[in-house]
Chain A
Amino acid sequence: MLSPYGLDIIESCLTCKTRSERLFCDLPGAALQTFESIKYATAYPKGAVLFVEGQAPRGIFVLCKGRVKMSICATDGKTLIVKIAEPGEVLGLSATVSGKPYELTAETVDPCQVNFVKRDDFLRFLKEHSDACFKVAEQLSEKYNNACHEVRSLGLSHSAGEKLAKLLLEWSSKNGEASKQEPRLKLALTHEEIAQMIGTSRETVTRLFADLKKRQIIQTKGSTLVIRNKPALKSIAANN
């Protein structure tokens, strides 16, 4: 079935081809059957808000396709993007488990398919299936690891240049590019969104990119960024 947003909707977790590659989704038989019965598969366009920081938790959102921007916002409107969630991640997990308000705002950056599970159903599911409980624990551990990484980056990086260099190196280490001498990455975010990830302004990010290009540390070809001088970028990231 095709959704209005051009997505090829995965109707059933039981027949999902990517299930075994994803931490939470790779549930054993009985747990998977139960999960299938309590989930609601939904498609969202780009720019849809799944939940807002401070909102009472309604349930979890398992991201099947697309990416979601997770952010926090100050009262003056300043936004910090904490993470870009990828398929396989469970969003709103800690809030749903604890009953506390959602800690972050989740907004789609692509058309997305999401499996929503109501809070009561999810908590009952965890009580009945300890395997699922372990999967949830693993997801929460990963999120905690990411949050500690963010704390380190925000609290210990001196400059925006350092943070941008670290971010580019982090992105370039995915998708098998880590070992390459000149790794490539797809710049899927605007300069404004990158600024929101590292806690600076759009103008600073634009200036930093121009500087990196001028020094031939990076090169851009459309939306593809090539790191031409990885040691130099690492040196900036280490504040040398």
Chain B
Amino acid sequence: MEAVVQRSYPAPTERPERLFSDLTPETSRDFDALKSVVTCPKGSILFREGQPARGIFVLCDGRAKLSVCSESGKRMTFRIAGPGEILGLSATLAGSQHEITAELLDNAHVATVRRKDLLGFLHEHREACLQVVNLLSEDLHIAYDRVRSLGLGRSRRSRAPRVQ
């Protein structure tokens, strides 16, 4: 059953960059000090659409399904996030509500960083701030790609396998 469930989701969107991969050792150490790593079982909801953002979640391993929901309760998968990805970054930086729901598809280690700590870190480390801007840009590119495929039926990137 689990193997069937795993095959029914498309592969995670390609995200080769790691979070803050080009920081100085000292800055990396400062960031690591902010993280709390927890083990979460498959099916855990990391955050829900509409919930106020309290911090970011870094997928150390495993996958997460990112989805959106209509008022009538219909749910649609936005994309599948893979290891190394940061979830909830946009809402956390803006101090707004999460735009999507994130649910783990596998048992996973997840590192959390509280919003207050993240903002303090970014204010102190300029180079990290720029990397965050780059990550947000990439998130936006992926979102527009999804808009394109839904609205026009095509994608600039190779189309992910259809969810069965």
Residues of chain A having any CB pair with chain B under 8 Å: 72-75, 78, 80, 82, 93-95, 97-98, 100, 103-104, 126-127, 130, 133-134, 136-138, 140-145, 147-152, 154-157, 199, 237-239
Contacts and interface: CB of A to CB of B under 8 A. Distances in A.
Interface residues of B, number: 40
A97 B134 contact: yes
Interface of chain A: mostly helix, strand, loop or mixed: helix
Interface stretch (B38-46, B90-98, B109-117): B90-98
B94 A74 contact: no
Contact of A145 (B90, B146, B154): B90
B150 interface: yes
A148 B100 contact: yes
Nearest to A150: B147
Contacts of B139: 140, 144
Contacts of A82: 144, 147, 151
B76 interface: yes
B19 interface: no
22 contacts: A72-B151, A75-B154, A82-B147, A97-B137, A100-B141, A127-B126, A127-B130, A133-B129, A133-B130, A133-B133, A136-B133, A140-B137, A144-B99, A144-B136, A144-B143, A145-B91, A145-B94, A148-B78, A152-B68, A156-B68, A156-B69, A199-B151
A75 to B, nearest CB: 7
A104 to B, nearest CB: 7
B129 A134 contact: yes
A160 to B, nearest CB: 13
Q: For the complex of A and B, list the 6 residue pairs with the smallest distance between their C-beta atoms, beginning with the closest.
A: A147-B143, A141-B94, A148-B99, A156-B70, A94-B137, A140-B136
B126 A151 contact: no
Nearest to A238: B71
Contact of A78 (B74, B90, B132, B152): B152
A140 B78 contact: no
A156 B74 contact: yes
Contacts of B32: none
Contact of B141 (A78, A98, A149): A98
Interface string B121-160: 0110010011011101111110111111011111000000
